[in-house]
Structure 1
Amino acid sequence: MATEILVPVLGESITEATLGEWLKQPGEAVAADEPVASLETDKVSVEVPAPAAGVMGQHAVKPGDTVNVGAMIGTIEAGDGAAAAPKAEAAPAAAPTPAPAPAPAEAAQQAPAPAEHVDAAALSPSVRRAILEHGVDPATIKGSGKDGRITKEDVVAAASAKSSAPAAPAPVPTPAAAAAAPAGDNRREERVRMTRLRQTIAKRLKDAQDTAALLTTFNDVDMTAVIEARTKYKDLFEKKHGVRLGFMGFFVKAACMALKDIPAVNASIEGDEIVYRDYADISVAVSAPQGLVVPVIRNAESLSVAGIEKTIGDFGKRAKDGTLKMEEMKGGTFTISNGGVFGSLMSTPIINPPQSAVLGLHRIEDRPVVRDGQVVVRPMMYLALSYDHRLIDGREAVTFLVALKNAIEDPTRLLIDL
């Protein structure tokens, strides 16, 4: 008897999701609680576990389809998977008029057929972009990711192997064939349905622009002291705490101190009231295969730099694995986004409602600056604070950035709360 695979409860107020991809194909053996499909919600990807052990039955929905909580999306049949293969092979033998085997030339032409089974919607955006950029057929790529999924690195490696392979001599076209060949036949387009996460990001960012009075204030910070401290203590830090010492730990700690001094930056508008908070739940933008996600470091003001780095490291790992939980993405009071890891020099980040401010970090680069009347080269970073001008005045925004700058340029302040 078949066991139905149902869409699980996805979280408070979430009633539907989009089927991202099937992790098990019909006929494959499935263990109890083994992930068989992934669902995309407004915030994260959620894996659907098998309700029982057996053999994967038919898929009731396709990748990209919208499904409601509690809906049946597939079945698990009785069996162990091994017995299913002979049964499938026996079907052609029982047919009264089996189709003739194709000639070798025809078989060679039919070889690329597996490309039909590579669903563009099941590939991450970065993988789809890489496939378009390198002109690689995804059916020829062997995925090295989880459950054989194709990664961006797989695409780059396939493109490199393709370019290094000797090219077959091109046949000389006849005049008639040359006249029939369309000009610019290397121009291609691809339409890919937006993921539910991307749709939600687009809506929330547009809502922020429509409702908040956005303004961005800039400053720069000399990273010399933090770089020296990190270089001096990174090995001891990793040995003691089991996590690498990065820059985000310093910035989160410095931001918490500045938020305590300038509480409006940590506040929000609710109706005709302003909500002030004596705690700092810092949302940290983390890159995931489906796009940026923003998990929250709860009570960051009470954590040490080591505690902050451990939390961020855990978020980053689980974002890549798609195992972040819904509740970990809600309720932040202030956001830090580090575009510098991608090479950004300067940007104007958009706030994450109902928050009232977001701090943008950027790349570190050597620039000439004046110190004690002398021009010297220092590792500098631009800081950008975007904020809701309805709540935060320019003076408060500038004061916040100066307090942050002072703490980063003199990390001792972080120890003595100055």
Structure 2
Amino acid sequence: MRHIAIVGSGPAGYYTAEAAVKQWGEDARVDIFDKLPVPFGLIRTGVAPDHQSIKAVARRYEKTAIGDTVRFAGNVEIGRDIAIEELTELYDAVILATGAPRDRDLPIPGADSANVFGSAAFVGWYNGHPEYAALAPDLSGRHAVIVGMGNVALDVARILSKTEAEFEGSDIVAHALERLRDSNIETITILGRRGPHQIMMTPKELGELLRLERAVPRVENADLPPPESDDMLDPGQRKSVTLLREFAALSPFDRTGKALSINFDFFASPTLIEQEGGQLSGLVVERTELKDGRAVGSGETYRIPADLLVSCIGYRTSPIVGVPFDERAGRFPNEEGRIAPALYCVGWAKRGPSGTIGTNRPDGYAVIEKVAEDIGEGAGKRGREGFDELAQKRALDVVTFRDWQRIEEAEIAAARSGAPREKFVDIESMIAARGA
């Protein structure tokens, strides 16, 4: 028997568990640990609430979770409730699939001003993550700024732009919907250090901006490269830039009746957050130019108004006591997923925040191949039995997958009209619902 511990129940964790089942079948016992009482990681708290088709991938993970081979152990924090050294003593392999749940810092003066947020925190707020549910961003001002040119920046812009009716069918949490309903935001500026050819936005997400009821996207023609230069792009990038050209071609008539504009500001790097009494009041931006593909400051600066700022510039893995950590890269140092004997990593914890949800599947299968090479028939460790004894001794309140199903049933029962669920946004309510 091979005893495998996976830390993290998001896509990387469940794809890795799926790979372990394919590799060893009934000759494996896989325990998936998560510090939250609920599974699925960024599927639940990172994917935009109005992208329910993407969230549906969780149904695939449920098939892996049901049965004796794979077990979910929620409400258990590795490094707090049980040390990493204890896990490696109990299991043949410990695989860190913790993702990258922390924001990269915005490295400019004033980043600690009130109403300045990283995207992990802001997205966690409207998705009901327990750590961020009480964030309470102030949306009473007229101007929002989003730093970054990836899909997360588009998600934030779209959520800030939608009417209440446009959230039908989504699982945005009630406290966020209520605050968005009273929002006074009229302009959203999306800042990117480089140009249209360097954006990481995909056509599907960009195209959604053309279907918003009260918002219209705007691009300045002067920021667009010559059309013939689009030929050098791959097909996906070309579609995205074509959409940016459509945004630039919108006439004033197309913007009539739209209460909110989403302005793309290319070749723009934030340098200073202005504040009054600790409160965000504006942003100083330096115009940039491309040199060998890099954005270089030109020395020309200008100011844009800002009442809310969300930084969408990337994520970092959370360190775990007892595990080597690369502070600069924001992830665990590894060689093809190997960190140390019996200790591995996978997904964003291994490679940093890159790729799509589906990218984690081949990553999970690859790390299980490495584990299989290393552990052979297994070392006769105690695995699940040993953890259960330890959990009982320490009075850990472990949440099972069946408990999660009860929590989910309670969320579905509490849903407002037109919504798939109303998430519990604090751990106490989740655990209480388990016993309902």
**TM-score of the aligned structures, taking structure 2 as reference length:** 0.22
Q: Which structure: larger Rg?
A: 1
Higher relative contact order (CA 8 A, sep 6+): 2
**TM-score of the aligned structures, taking structure 1 as reference length:** 0.22
